[in-house]
Amino acid sequence: MLCIICGQSFATTLTEKEKSVRSIVSGIVSYSRWPALSGQPKLCIFSSSRFAQVLSDSGSAALPYTPLIVQNESEALHATCDAVYFGNESPAAQLELFRNYQGRALLLIAEQNLECVIGSAFCLIINEETVRFSVNLDALSRSGVRVNPDVLMLARNKKHE
């Protein structure tokens, strides 16, 4: 009984920014396809993320991924993630993790990679009022993950949230 109440409380106390981050990440993962993956993809979420709790707690809504909080690159590598959500890890560290995953499809999403030139394929742009994302097409093409073209079009639209 207590868990049900906690889940409902969590769902109703999310800020608009938290809802936006969760919606964008869930949307990206939902419209992505990994080769030879059966079932939900595993999303490793770095504990340095401001939104780690929001992305890992399903509350009352089902998530399109299986969340796992990781503390560092070593934990992420051993967890055999299908996607990784970075907090304050540098773009160079994001790229290094990808290189260490040689031969496996891996989708990288970052919350603090404003230029989105190296590292992650998707980069959240979190401002005071809005959350949107940009895409690094080079990183995405190397990821081995196929993403629905409609998601890529949303990255061009400055008004999505």
Listing DSSP states for the chain in one string gives -HHHHHHHHHHHS--HHHHHHHHHHHHHHHTEE-TT--SPPEEEEETT-TTHHHHH--TTS--SSEEEEESSHHHHHHTT-SEEEESS--HHHHHHHHHHTTTS--EEEESS-SS-SSS-SEEEEE-SS-EEEEE-HHHHHHHT-EE-HHHHHHHH-TT--
List phi, psi (to 5°) of 68: -145, 120
The pLDDT of residue 88 = 93
The pLDDT of residue 12 = 56
Residue 147 token pair:
């993403």
Which positions of the chain have pLDDT values less than 70?
1-12, 60, 156-161
| Residue pLDDT, tens place only, 62-72 | 899 999 999 99
| Residue pLDDT, tens place only, 39-54 | 999 999 999 999 999 9
The pLDDT of residue 114 = 86
Query: Model-level pTM?
Result: 0.87
**pLDDT > 90 fraction of the chain, expressed in percent and rounded:** 70
